[in-house]
Amino acid sequence: MFKDVIGLSGLKQILKSFLKTNNHLSNFIFIGARGCGKSTMALSFAKSIFCFNHSGGGESCGSCESCLMFERGQHPDFILVKPTSATIKISQIQTLQNKILSAPALSSKRVVFIKNADKLGLEAANAFLKTFEEAHHRCFIILSISTQKNLLPTLLSRGVKIYFPILTDHQISDILKIKFNWEQSQINQYQFIFKQGIRKDWIENWDEFSALRDEVIKILLDLPKSDFSKVLFAITNWANKNQTLLVIEILMSWFRDVIVINHSQKGYLINQDYLLPLKESFWCKIDFLNIYDLLLMLRQSERAIHFQANKNLSLISTFIRLKELS
């Protein structure tokens, strides 16, 4: 149900209006940062499309056969496609294409949700293009992507684009309280970390994530005087624990904050609990272009790791650069 989505009332109204004028339902592309509510919204939207009883207001009833099956994750006409590894493979698209050839079982049309469609490999994206163009006779397709630049322009131009805003402090607080049962004191201390999106993967392993973040930030602050062998040890340890991508995200949030502190009066900080040490650190004295280069380097490392590059090597190169700058 749309009421399961906290906040985003403007977007809910827009999607409900499409439901009221059923003829105008088409393919949708949900665009927004990871953790800003795209998947929850897509599921609520699909459930409402399927509901046998929606009263015209666009809200699903939660009690008809269709709603109950959807809630159990067993709706026969709902198809979810998401990356099973670094990418969505062409074989997954071919399976989808075969499925939608047959008639839907319960509803008049199927709903297909392609989560993280920016992970469609080039071959898979090209194979999917025809489906996306022509499927509307048989199904509605919703794609979710974090940024438009990662989707083929030919796909991007064939759907209604819905942009998801950054969550407000109030929404973040409500989500942490209602969906994750966080205490108010914990919310007050950490909610700023989720400013770019509610990250379930962090919350579900909160103690581990929080300890890792403290460790990475300590290494960053100590880097000028630290023995590099200790850094190498930490990097190996992170790779063994499969934490390299998390470390890269923490590093990116740190350097993003450096740019905000030095160049923006209005931007919010992600690492607000480390504001003083960060402000007084050498990182805030480094030239903007170097910080910008670091962010590009981290982004490239992230992509390389998604495509199975050696995790250790990607991070070692980054920390050598950091040590040089420190």
Nearer to Zn ion, 41 or 221 (CB): 41
Residue from 29, 67, 239, 270 in contact with Zn ion (CB under 5 A): 67
CB of 59 to Zn ion, least distance (A): 9
Nearer to Zn ion, 53 or 84 (CB): 53
CB of 67 to Zn ion, least distance (A): 3
Interactions with Zn ion, residue window 175-214 (CB under 5 A): none
CA atoms of 56 and 68, how far apart (whole Å): 19
- Segment lying near Zn ion (by CB under 5 A), choices 1-9, 66-74, 138-146, 311-319: 66-74
- Segment lying near Zn ion (by CB under 5 A), choices 60-68, 161-169, 174-182, 234-242: 60-68
CA atoms of 240 and 219, how far apart (whole Å): 18
Indicate whether 85 belongs to the interface with Zn ion (CB under 5 A).
no
CA atoms of 27 and 92, how far apart (whole Å): 19
Nearer to Zn ion, 51 or 145 (CB): 51
CB of 128 to Zn ion, least distance (A): 30
- Segment lying near Zn ion (by CB under 5 A), choices 54-62, 137-145, 199-207, 254-262: 54-62
Number of residues that bind Zn ion (CB under 5 A): 6
Contacts 24+ apart (CB under 8 A), 168-172: 168/7, 169/195, 170/7, 171/6, 171/7, 171/8, 172/198
Indicate whether 106 belongs to the interface with Zn ion (CB under 5 A).
no
Nearer to Zn ion, 61 or 232 (CB): 61
Residue from 1, 64, 232, 316 in contact with Zn ion (CB under 5 A): 64
CB of 78 to Zn ion, least distance (A): 13
Closest by CA position to 80, among listed 117, 50, 106, 55: 117
Interactions with Zn ion, residue window 208-237 (CB under 5 A): none
Indicate whether 51 belongs to the interface with Zn ion (CB under 5 A).
yes
Nearer to Zn ion, 59 or 257 (CB): 59
Indicate whether 53 belongs to the interface with Zn ion (CB under 5 A).
yes
Residues ≥6 apart with Cβ < 8 Å to 145: 29, 30, 31, 116, 117, 118, 151
CB of 48 to Zn ion, least distance (A): 8
CA atoms of 93 and 78, how far apart (whole Å): 15
| DSSP states along 148-180 | GGGS-HHHHTTSEEEEPPPPPHHHHHHHHHHTT
Tell me the C-alpha to C-alpha distance, in Å, between residue 128 and each of 45, 143, 222. 22, 12, 49
CB of 52 to Zn ion, least distance (A): 5
CB of 1 to Zn ion, least distance (A): 9
Please give the radius of gyration of the chain, using alpha carbons only, rounded to the nearest integer. Answer: 22
55 Cα distance to chain centroid = 32
Nearer to Zn ion, 1 or 90 (CB): 1
Indicate whether 1 belongs to the interface with Zn ion (CB under 5 A).
no
CB of 60 to Zn ion, least distance (A): 5
Q: Which strands make up the sheet holding 78-81, listed edge to edge?
A: 78-81, 110-114, 139-145, 28-31, 160-163
CA atoms of 17 and 218, how far apart (whole Å): 50
Alpha helices in the chain (DSSP H): 9-20, 38-50, 65-71, 90-99, 122-134, 153-156, 169-178, 184-190, 200-204, 206-222, 228-240, 244-263, 275-280, 288-306, 311-325
Nearer to Zn ion, 60 or 146 (CB): 60
Residue from 1, 25, 61, 316 in contact with Zn ion (CB under 5 A): 61
Instruction: Tell me which residues touch Zn ion (CB under 5 A).
Output: 51, 53, 60-61, 64, 67
